[in-house]
Amino acid sequence: MKRFVVMFVAFVFVAGLCGTLLAQDRLDTIKKRGALIAGVKDSTPGFGFVDEKTREIVGYDVDFVRAIANKLGVKLQLKPVTSASRMPQLVEGNIDIIAATMTKTAERAKQIDFSYTYFFTGQKFIVKKGTVKSLADLDGKRIGTAKGSTSEQNAAKALPKATILSFDDYPQALLALQQGKVFAVTTDESILANLLGKAPNKEQYEIPDIQISDEPYGLGIKKGEKGLVDFVNKTLLEMEKSGEAKKIFDKWFGPKSPTPLQRGSFKITAGK
């Protein structure tokens, strides 16, 4: 009987070991494949958008995943995602990482894991100049935003009488504003500033100083991929320390960019 128990325990141990060895984690898969597949936006100016000259997707989010791919010694492969499609694409395993203006929320963290915060902003509105002095001026109005965003949830909460119209992306919401189909567009200030910066008749619009939420961005990784999360977090901290993270910020949003933003005291910090 004793011998049987010993053999059984040994069998369970060996089987467990084989299982662990066979079940490759995502980090191994990426290295073997020789490419990191990142889900990025392709129509969010400043973060992930198509460069008119090169026809390549570029932006703040793209530079962060490029730095991670370089650190891994693999190529970077980009897959366009929308606010609504990014989590399903990750959960289904079609992408390794989300780098798509994605806010870390407790609700999303039930389904996926997040890196440390690598960008920080807050939700505001674009409106026709002089039409909005306070939040009350927006209630009961038609407000445009993107499907699957925290922006649509926050707006519904802050403006219970408003009609929220959700589009596939923010340029479509801006177009609706320009066509008079919505009264305001709402999402993160960082996105609004860049969107407006590129708009042809931008002098007719403004972003009033009305903020309804904080939006810390994290890189999204499938649940249970501790190796990849640790690697990404380690790389983010190194990028902060070396000054690369600030350099990427300045490249897209610094004083010389068309729409400067404040990095303020923001720093990529362990645990946050």
Two tokens at 219?
A: 């890189």
DSSP state of 116: S
In angstroms, give the least distance from the CB of 192 to ligand GLU.
Answer: 10
Stretch that binds ligand GLU, among 22-30, 144-152, 159-167, 232-240 (CB under 6 A): 144-152
Interface characters, 187-206, with ligand GLU (x: CB under 6 A): xx--x---------------
Residue with tokens 């999204």: 220
In angstroms, the Cα distances linking 166 to 84, 137, 147 are 10, 20, 5
In angstroms, give the least distance from the CB of 234 to ligand GLU.
Answer: 24
CB 227 within 8 A of CB 200: no
Candidate list 42, 189, 215, 240; residue touching ligand GLU; CB under 6 A: 215
Identify which of 202, 151, 145, 152 has the alpha carbon closest to the alpha carbon of residue 178.
202
Q: How many CB atoms lie within 10 A of CB 129?
A: 10
In angstroms, give the least distance from the CB of 191 to ligand GLU.
Answer: 6
Is the Cβ of residue 130 or residue 264 nearer to ligand GLU in the bound state?
264
Residue nearest to ligand GLU (CB): 149
Quick check: 213 binds ligand GLU (CB under 6 A)?
no
Two tokens at 90?
A: 């990750």
In angstroms, give the least distance from the CB of 244 to ligand GLU.
Answer: 23
Residue with tokens 């910090």: 269
Helix (H) or strand (E) holding 16: helix 2-22
Of residues 75-134, which lie at the interface with ligand GLU (CB under 6 A)?
83, 100-103
Which residues would be at the binding site for ligand GLU (CB under 6 A)? 83, 100-103, 146, 149-151, 187-188, 191, 215
